[in-house]
Amino acid sequence: AQSHQRTFVLEVMGRHCGYLALVSALACGADWVFLPESPPEEGWQEDMCIKLSENRARKKRLNIIIVAEGAIDTQNKPITSEQIKELVVKQLGYDTRVTILGHVQRGGTPSAFDRILASRMGVEAVVALLQATPETPACVVSLSGNQAVRLPLVECVQMTQDVQKAMDERRFKDAVQLRGRSFETNLNTYKRLAIKLPDDQIVKSNCNVAVINVGAPAAGMNAAVRSAVRVGIADGHKMLAIYDGFEGFAKGQVKEIGWGDVGGWTGQGGSILGTKRTLPGKSLEDIAAQMRTHSINALLIIGGFEAYLGLLELSAARERHEELCVPMVMVPATVSNNVPGSDFSIGADTALNTITDTCDRIKQSASGTKRRVF
């Protein structure tokens, strides 16, 4: 679609639940999303067209609009994919296509996460049955904070009914909250990353925040940079990108990065900023000089175990270099998933899916042979 500068309206399943639409919008960096729990305000037609045209003005060649199956407006009237397409074509004249996934979503090979989740849930369900007594109420095995938990069935059913009732009564804030903390957090995150306020509405700060990638490339690094840059700009900070890790930092490869510069980074693999395993130890004076030159007030390091070690070296050097006495934060991003203090690192799930897919292909290849070991 980028070759033709098209706009795609993608309708996903989910009936009256907007979970799939919301996380799809987060995952692909959609320009707009329609959810039954959080319908657009009055005048959304004009707002959406302005947003699409602004993104085109930033040289974005592809526009994506995600529509939940049960999308509605604030008057509980359905919003359809065809309606959105006709609006975009009429108001903007963009080449627009509608894709309705339908039951195609149900097919396919389960991902690594789904296989692991199913295994954990199955075990927890059997344990729950073995521990049950005649007085034990029926329960639903669920996942909360990466821990398998058992929730009373009656309460779960009641909560589902409460969500629908809230939407029917147009209490949409209550509906979002009833969907759970994760849903509400995802919605707020999407809004912060997708909607750029006009410059005159952003309260500028005097804080310069630098972002750097360190270690081996990991899938998701670019998405993390995009999120950091856009949230920083929304909060009024000046965002700086450091290229080629600590080595590039020492050489002064520092450049201001804007909202539109990170457009389309969500699905990009590798590291667009460039990343190296080099630690800062031998270049601490040069790095401190660059911190002073660019007036860097905070440093965000995205990477693996080398990023962890590099942050430790920078922290230890604060006594000798006052320029390093600024807030520093690390975001774990490594396929090895070996950063102390974290359960999951960015990139580990993609690597696991690659391994799982490879194993599936190997089994398929070996299924017609005998006496073969991979």
Q: Using CA atoms, how far apart are residues 144 and 142, in angstroms rounded to an integer?
A: 7
**Averaged pLDDT score across all residues of the chain:** 93
Listed by start position, the domains of the chain span 7-106, 208-352
pTM here is: 0.89
Residue 368 above 90 pLDDT? no
Across 20-31, average pLDDT: 94
More confident residue, 248 or 59: 248
Across 53-58, average pLDDT: 86
Residue 129, pLDDT score: 95
What are the tokens at 144? Answer: 């909360």
Opening angle at CA 187, ends 186 and 190, nearest 5:
85
CATH architecture of 208-352: 3-Layer(aba) Sandwich (3.40)
Domains 7-106 and 208-352 share a fold: yes
Across 325-342, average pLDDT: 94
Residue 2, pLDDT score: 62
**Cβ within 8 Å of residue 137, ≥6 positions away:** 152, 153, 154
CB distance 177 to 238 below 8 Å: no
Residue 86, pLDDT score: 96
How far is residue 4 from each of residues 60, 62, 120, measured CA to CA in Å? 12, 8, 45
Q: Does domain 7-106 bear CATH number 3.30.565.10?
A: no
Q: Report the sign of the C-alpha dihedral through residues 121, 122, 128, 134, in that order.
A: positive
**For the chain, percent of residues with pLDDT exceeding 70:** 99
pLDDT-derived band of residue 102, with 50, 70 and 90 as boundaries? confident
Per-residue pLDDT of 203-227, as tens digits, reads 999 899 999 999 999 999 999 999 9
**Cβ within 8 Å of residue 26, ≥6 positions away:** 186, 189, 190, 193
Residue 3, pLDDT score: 65
Residue 200, pLDDT score: 87
Per-residue pLDDT of 157-195, as tens digits, reads 999 999 999 999 999 999 999 998 999 999 999 999 998
Alpha-helix runs per DSSP H in 132-205:
153-168, 172-178, 181-194
30 alpha-carbon distance from chain centroid: 11
Residue 243, pLDDT score: 98
More confident residue, 153 or 370: 153
Residue 62 above 70 pLDDT? yes
Residue 1, pLDDT score: 58
Residue 103, pLDDT score: 77
**For the chain, percent of residues with pLDDT exceeding 90:** 80
Residue 234 above 90 pLDDT? yes
Identify the burial level of 245 via C-beta atoms within 10 angstroms of its C-beta, where 0-12 means exposed, 13-18 middle and 19 or more buried: buried
Return phi, psi of residue 18, to 5°.
-95, 15
CB distance 23 to 189 below 8 Å: no
Identify the burial level of 363 via C-beta atoms within 10 angstroms of its C-beta, where 0-12 means exposed, 13-18 middle and 19 or more buried: exposed
Identify the burial level of 300 via C-beta atoms within 10 angstroms of its C-beta, where 0-12 means exposed, 13-18 middle and 19 or more buried: buried
Q: Using CA atoms, how far apart are residues 135 and 8, in angstroms rounded to an integer?
A: 53
